[in-house]
Amino acid sequence: MSPSITARAGSFIQVLRRVFRLAAPYFQSEEKWRARTMFAAIVALNLAYVYALVLFNQWYGRFYDGLQNKDVTVFWREIRVFVVLAFFNIALQVLKFYVTQLLQLRWRAWITRDYLGRWMADRTFYEMELARYAGKDGTTPDNPDQRIQEDMQLFTSATMTLSMGLLNAVVTLVSFVGILWGLSGTTELSLNGTTYQVAGAMVWLAVAYCVVGTIITHYIGRPLIGLNFRQQRFEADFRHHLVRVREYSEAIALDRGEKVEHGQLDLRFGSVLRNYLQLIKQQKNLVTFTAFFGQAAVIFPFVVAAPRFFSGAIQLGQLMQISSAFGKVQDSLSWFVDNYDSVAVWRATTDRLTSFDDAIRAHAAQENALERSDAAGLHTDGLSLNLPNGTPLLANAALTAKAGDSVLVQGPSGSGKSTLFRAFAGIWPFARGRVQVPADAMFVPQRPYMPDGPLRVALAYPEDAAKYDDEQLRRALKDALLPEFANRLDDSDAWSQKLSGGEQQRLAIARVLLKKPRWVFADEISSALDAPAERTLYQRLSEMVRAGGGAMVSVAHRAAVGEFHNQRWTLVPEAEGATARYRVEVVAAPAGSAAA
């Protein structure tokens, strides 16, 4: 066996293993008996459908013989038989469609929830995005949204369609080869003056015809697998940028960035079109061949069987049976030819889902070098921070804050202040060391997440809004200087677009005032606020944490914020040649600060 054939066989087996890895969990899940029962029912219905085809083939012989003999009794009897067979076939088709679609729906629901659960677990979604944008390993898959929403639907649908189609092809082949062999009789073949008796000649011709067609189809269509893989990626990239333009529409409009974004969208759409044009050209070649292949198959059995018919060896009914049986055998053997494009899309989808599954498993298996635990105060021991590309930011930092403290973290832009907060929260995957943080702590980012929907949901996020009564929600909004929203709790909107930057920050502070955590970690939470609002809100946050016996740790650039803190942790550049770019200097705030 040649190396190329061996490699292709190995590649095919590898694809099947990937499919099994993706498909098996559902059929071994808590729904396994329902899933297996439905799958068995679909197999049974497909077998019954092939049996119906055999009955139709037998009907062709009786019906056309009756026509040739001009037997009116046989004609009307077979019409009645046809009606029964037709209703039987229709019932099978409808039932098969319904059960197949129902299984696909349940399978898609299960696999989507499974991937969503694993992708969202332990902040895997966040770490995968960090790794991808940092180019950390070059293997982190792009567009997980597209893989979950579209690829899983394509995979479940194509797997059911192709597997049942292949089953039909195999069973049909087994059922009709015997029929075609019996109808073929014995054909004389003369070669170099010697006459050979060839049994089942129509079967051998059908096999030869389809083997040649399959080889040519694979040669023509092989590039489709890679083209379909790239097409899905380019489509997802284009869709992702469209969503970003919608989300940042106001900022783009204020920056007069329409031309730039239009150019970026054109660039991405250009990739979609260029790859799709290559797909069209490749599919044109494939369609051209398969069309010729299919049309020739219609007349081929008549041409081969015509001499026996005109010699009187067979009747019209047998000729029609030969045509029908040859068509079924040829259809079965040509399954690969007819489904090559679908197989290419299915394989590309399988590759995308497998790489996504590999990435989820890899991130889930990573050991966290950062040890994080609960404690009465904030304490770090040997805390080291790296950027995603491996650049060391901070090395062996030892920091402590206790109840009653108010710490202001300062430093130049890019020094790692926000990264330090991420390490406190335990979400930074490129950190090592030990961090102890109070359990009753709340982390507030500079750009808070605002879910769409009722305002009360956005205010209570991520907790259930039903946990708080209307008076508590209104009080939090008023205390956060958003009194105009106090009577709009049930208004639904896209709040990330509806609210200004300052209003979003005030709503984030309203969440803190609503939930009243003992410890607050605030990352530039007043950067979009005016000075009076900033002073008022910091005063209220300070009073809240003092009343709860907690502390506040803030990142801020404005000097006025220092009034509410009694310690400063300043990130200062290290000397050249040091193990990290920055170190933390801990100093007390000047006496007389509000928080002192």
Tell me what percent of the residues of the chain surpass a pLDDT of 70.
92
Structural contact between residues 106 and 35, judged by C-beta atoms closer than 8 angstroms: yes
All CATH 3.40.50.300 domain ranges in the chain, comma separated: 370-588
What is d(CA 122, CA 467) in angstroms, rounded to the nearest whole number? Answer: 25
- 388: confidence class by pLDDT, cuts 50, 70, 90: confident
Task: Say what the pLDDT of residue 193 is.
Answer: 64
Report strand pairing: 431-437 vs 582-588: unpaired
Taking 50 as the threshold, does the pLDDT of residue 594 lie above it? Answer: no
| Best CA proximity match to 65, nearest among 311, 318, 322 | 318
| Best CA proximity match to 543, nearest among 594, 579, 490 | 594
Instruction: Give the residue, 204 or 40, on which the prediction is more confident.
Output: 40
- 1: confidence class by pLDDT, cuts 50, 70, 90: very low
Convert the pLDDT of each residue in 228-273 to its tens digit: 888 888 888 888 888 878 777 656 776 677 888 888 888 989 999 9
| Best CA proximity match to 302, nearest among 318, 282, 281, 286 | 318
What is d(CA 191, CA 445) in angstroms, rounded to the nearest whole number? Answer: 86
Task: Say what the pLDDT of residue 402 is.
Answer: 92
Convert the pLDDT of each residue in 2-39 to its tens digit: 445 444 545 668 888 899 999 999 999 999 999 999 99
Mean pLDDT to the nearest integer, 149-155: 89
Convert the pLDDT of each residue in 534-575 to its tens digit: 999 999 999 999 999 999 999 988 888 888 999 999 988 887
Distance of CA 31 to the CA centre of its chain: 22
Instruction: Compute φ and ψ for 77, nearest 5 degrees.
Output: -65, -45
Owner of token pair 């190329």: 4
Q: Dig out the tokens for 228 from the structure.
A: 């379909």
Report strand pairing: 519-523 vs 492-493: unpaired
Instruction: Give the residue, 186 or 78, on which the prediction is more confident.
Output: 78
Task: Say what the pLDDT of residue 591 is.
Answer: 43
Task: Say what the pLDDT of residue 235 is.
Answer: 86
Mean pLDDT to the nearest integer, 449-458: 91
Average pLDDT value for the chain? 85
- 133: confidence class by pLDDT, cuts 50, 70, 90: low
- 582: confidence class by pLDDT, cuts 50, 70, 90: confident
Distance of CA 287 to the CA centre of its chain: 30
Task: Say what the pLDDT of residue 298 is.
Answer: 76
Taking 80 as the threshold, does the pLDDT of residue 449 lie above it? Answer: yes
> Picking from 286-300, 368-382, 450-464, 511-525, which range would have the lowest pLDDT averaged per residue?
286-300
Sequence-separated (6 or more) residues with CB below 8 Å from residue 54: 175, 176, 179
Q: Which CATH superfamily is domain 3-365 in?
A: ABC transporter type 1, transmembrane domain (1.20.1560.10)
| DSSP annotation string for 438-471 | -SSEEEE-SS----SEEHHHHHHTTS-GGGS-HH
Structural contact between residues 554 and 565, judged by C-beta atoms closer than 8 angstroms: yes
Taking 60 as the threshold, does the pLDDT of residue 121 lie above it? Answer: yes
- 394 sits in which H/E element: strand 392-397
Instruction: Give the residue, 348 or 489, on which the prediction is more confident.
Output: 489
> Picking from 126-140, 158-172, 374-388, 559-573, which range would have the lowest pLDDT averaged per residue?
126-140
Task: Say what the pLDDT of residue 144 is.
Answer: 83
Task: Say what the pLDDT of residue 532 is.
Answer: 92
Mean pLDDT to the nearest integer, 327-353: 82
CATH hierarchy code of domain 370-588: 3.40.50.300
Convert the pLDDT of each residue in 407-434 to its tens digit: 999 988 888 888 999 999 888 888 899 9
Report strand pairing: 406-410 vs 441-444: unpaired
Task: Say what the pLDDT of residue 323 is.
Answer: 79
CA 382 to each of CA 398, 401, 402, 544: distance values in angstroms, whole numbers, following the listed order: 6, 16, 18, 31
Structural contact between residues 418 and 496, judged by C-beta atoms closer than 8 angstroms: no
All CATH 1.20.1560.10 domain ranges in the chain, comma separated: 3-365
Task: Say what the pLDDT of residue 593 is.
Answer: 47
Taking 60 as the threshold, does the pLDDT of residue 165 lie above it? Answer: yes
